Amino acid sequence: MTSQTEFIPFPSRRSVVHSTNGMVACTQPLAASCGLKILASGGNAADAAVAVAAGMNMAEPCSTGIGGDMFCLYYDAKTKKVSALNGSGRSGAKCTLKTIRGDLKLEDGQSGEIPMTSVHSVTVPGAPAGWADTVAIFGSGKLSLEEILAPAAEMGERGFPVSELTAHFWASGENKLRKASSNFSEMLKEDPSVGDGFRAPKAGELFKNPNLARTFKTLGKEGKKGFYTGRIANEFVKVVQDLGGHLELEDLVHHMELGTERVDPISLTFNDEVEVWEHPPNGQGIVALMALGILEELERSGKIPKFANMKHNSTEYLHAIVEALHISFADATWWVTDSNEVDVPTKQLISREYLAERAKLFDPTKASHIQHHGSPAHNHSDTVYFAVSDRDGNAVSFINSNYGGFGMAAIPHGCGFTLQNRGANFSLDESHPNVLAPRKRPYHTIIPALVTNKYDGSLHSIYGVMGGFMQPQGHVQVLLNQLAFKHNPQKALDAPRFCIGAGMPDAGEVTGQIVYLEDGIEEKVVDELRSMGHNVELVRGIKRSLFGRGQLIRSRMEGEQVVYSAGSDLRGDGGAFPAW
């Protein structure tokens, strides 16, 4: 059933999709249908986004799920206000640095990290509360959570054909599922012809997940209490503790009672044209804002030409963005952590004064290999992303993730979902701001983006590029594709990208010095970047998944009518789907 073993070569054959009644852009057509059903039933963008999130969990569990975390940015068309929800979970009350270092057999003074396959990487799932709170806070009020989750639950009960790339990634994670817990068969397909009778589903094959459907129904009927207490919570804690973890029922109840955190989104005005909105730390969206601010300072100072005068993906263009991101990541890997636990100088990090100072580290002639963070306080200065809009002009930029593929991959008995491994991002260095501590949230890679027009606050676009530490890098590149090179939404996503580092911790050094360039970037540019001191590797074929999978919905007004134009990444299975 596989149509092609490698990704489609450039250019994409996908066209921009237009609509006036709303749009869903995601990597799974079946998940999009869940959202479109909700829009057709009178729900708004927020209601539809939660339906898509559940549908994505069902159709692409190797990337996302109810056992993970979520973040969203919501644009209210009436007020032109951008709001944010942080749906990330925390470590357990008994997850002290001393306890976890001891469990990992680390001696005093010995450096180390939490393995992505370790039960100690599991944090409390924030997605269930996040879904419920998204509907409660931003929803239309016309549909219940039970109604919103019903299309995805029906998919799990009736069975659904598995999409092409999802089948590839599901197969890649099969052994991880098997090793993580004894309940692995819940998320594999029964097949008497193979060893133990279970395997990953192949492209086009039907897969049923009645246990996940039951989980959705419980959350829908009982709300957050149905997940964070009772049967699901008990099974969650049991599988964690059976594996030697320290999460307890009280940790789940604690998260339920706190609820999803409403936070003030952070923004940066870019080129006096648009305002770019991101989540504040513990999310890494600040990396994108810092990089954009540094690039703007480089333009102002004349260190680089105006972007409009550069050739797209030329040597000078890529060198400038790579260096700006290196500087930004150097700061973020130190400063991004739970801002409720640590004083993170967010405003100073994206201030013009600080970014101008950091921009001085840029050398237009060579790679600088910057690894040290700045001190603004002293200067006084596989995840899924999807986008949903509705006929009234409201829009949601939404992201949900297990972190690394299936996450830690353990499955609570009878629940049909895997546990995330977000805790692997904690530092085990007691002097680090992102150090592990009880009931703390780690550095988070998943970030939605939203752009408004500076002149009137109207919606410009919602977009995101999933893929670990690739995400802020994708945000910068896709935005510049639109603004500097006037790419339409599909072309902005199709264009070859670069990624600093491996993207995910289990693939290599995530913010290391290797610059991965995607097939489609000229060989001449590759050679010239190497001559400047960049450690460059060219990536082809299926390995291009490193560069993430993005979705983008542009918005404009034609008279009194909102018109949406959307693109969906050719590196994923899905597309952009209009509501009618």
Q: If you write DSSP's letter for every residue of 523-557 in order, what string do you get?
A: HHHHHHHHHTT-EEEEE-GGGGGGG-EEEEEEEEE
Beta-carbon contacts of residue 332 (< 8 Å; ≥ 6 apart): 284, 286, 287, 290, 443
- Between 203 and 545, name the one with better pLDDT: 203
Is the pLDDT at 274 greater than 50, yes or no? yes
Position 7 scores a pLDDT of 52
| Residue 503 in this model has a pLDDT that exceeds 70 | no
**CB contact at 8 A, 68 and 403:** yes
SS3 content of the chain, % helix, strand, coil (to 5): 40, 20, 40
Q: Tokens 């092409």 sit at which residue? A: 164
Confidence of residue 218 (pLDDT cuts 50, 70, 90): very high
- Summarised one tens digit per residue, pLDDT across range 426-466 is 999 999 989 999 999 998 888 899 999 999 999 999 999 98
Would you state the structure tokens that stand for residue 453, as one six-digit string? Answer: 């027009």
* Predicted pLDDT of residue 282: 83
Residue at token pair 């639950």: 153
Q: How far is CA 30 from CA 127, 209, 335, 577, in A?
A: 20, 15, 39, 11
Range 186-199 average pLDDT: 95
Residues 352-362 pLDDT 10s = 999 999 999 99
**64-68, 254-258, 308-312 — which is least confidently predicted?**
308-312
Q: With CA atoms as reference, report the closest residue to 326 among 500, 503, 505, 514.
A: 500
CB 265 within 8 A of CB 82: yes
- pLDDT of residue 10 exceeding 90, the answer is no
Task: List the catalytic residues.
Answer: 383
- Kindly report whether the peptide bond that precedes residue 472 is cis, defined as omega within 30 degrees of 0: no
pLDDT over 90 (residue 184):
yes
State the pLDDT at residue 506: 53
Q: Mean pLDDT throughout 197-216?
A: 98
User: What is the reported pLDDT for 509?
Assistant: 53
pLDDT-wise least confident of 164-173, 247-256, 505-514: 505-514
The burial of 3, by beta-carbon neighbours within 10 Å (0-12 exposed, 13-18 middle, 19 or more buried), is given as exposed
3-state secondary structure of 466: strand
Token pair for 62: 């190797």
Q: What pLDDT is recorded for position 369?
A: 73
Q: What distance in Å separates the CA atoms of residue 156 and residue 152, rounded to the nearest whole number? A: 7
Q: Is 132 helix (H, G, I), strand (E, B) or coil?
A: helix
pLDDT, average across residues 496-510: 67
The Cα 569–Cα 559 span in angstroms is 30
pLDDT in tens, 365-380: 999 876 555 444 333 2
Alpha helices in 173-209 (DSSP H): 174-180
Query: What's CA 261's distance to the chain center, in Å?
Result: 17
Structure confidence at residue 252 (pLDDT): 98
* Predicted pLDDT of residue 395: 98
Compute the distance between CA of residue 505 and CA of residue 487 in angstroms, rounded to an integer.
32
Contact 346, 339 (CB under 8 A): yes
Residue 128's alpha-carbon distances to 50, 227, 259, 312, 338, in angstroms, are 10, 7, 10, 41, 20
Higher pLDDT, 171 or 1: 171
pLDDT at 567 exceeding the cut of 50: yes
Name the pTM for this structure: 0.93
In sequence order, the β-bridge partners of residue 190 are 198
pLDDT greater at residue 130 or residue 7: 130
pLDDT digits (tens, 9 = 90+) for 13-43: 789 999 999 999 999 999 999 999 999 999 9
Alpha carbons within 13 angstroms on the beta-carbon side of residue 312 total 18
- Cα gap 484→474, rounded to integer Å: 15
Pick the range with the lowest mean pLDDT from 187-196, 217-226, 536-545, 546-555: 536-545
The pLDDT > 90 percentage for the chain reads 82
> Is the pLDDT reported for residue 475 higher than 90?
yes
Residue 512's pLDDT is 55
pLDDT at 467: 79
Q: Residue range 158-173: average pLDDT?
A: 95
pLDDT at 415 over 60: yes
Q: Can you tell me the mean pLDDT for 5-16?
A: 64
Strand pairing partners for 397?
Answer: 73, 387
Backbone angles phi, psi at 377, to 5 degrees: -65, -30
What rounded mean pLDDT belongs to the chain? 92
Nearest CA-CA partner of 571 in 554, 556, 549: 549
pLDDT at residue 382, rounded to an integer = 61
Tokens standing for residue 431: 């002097």
Q: What is the pLDDT of residue 372?
A: 53
557 has a pLDDT exceeding 80: yes
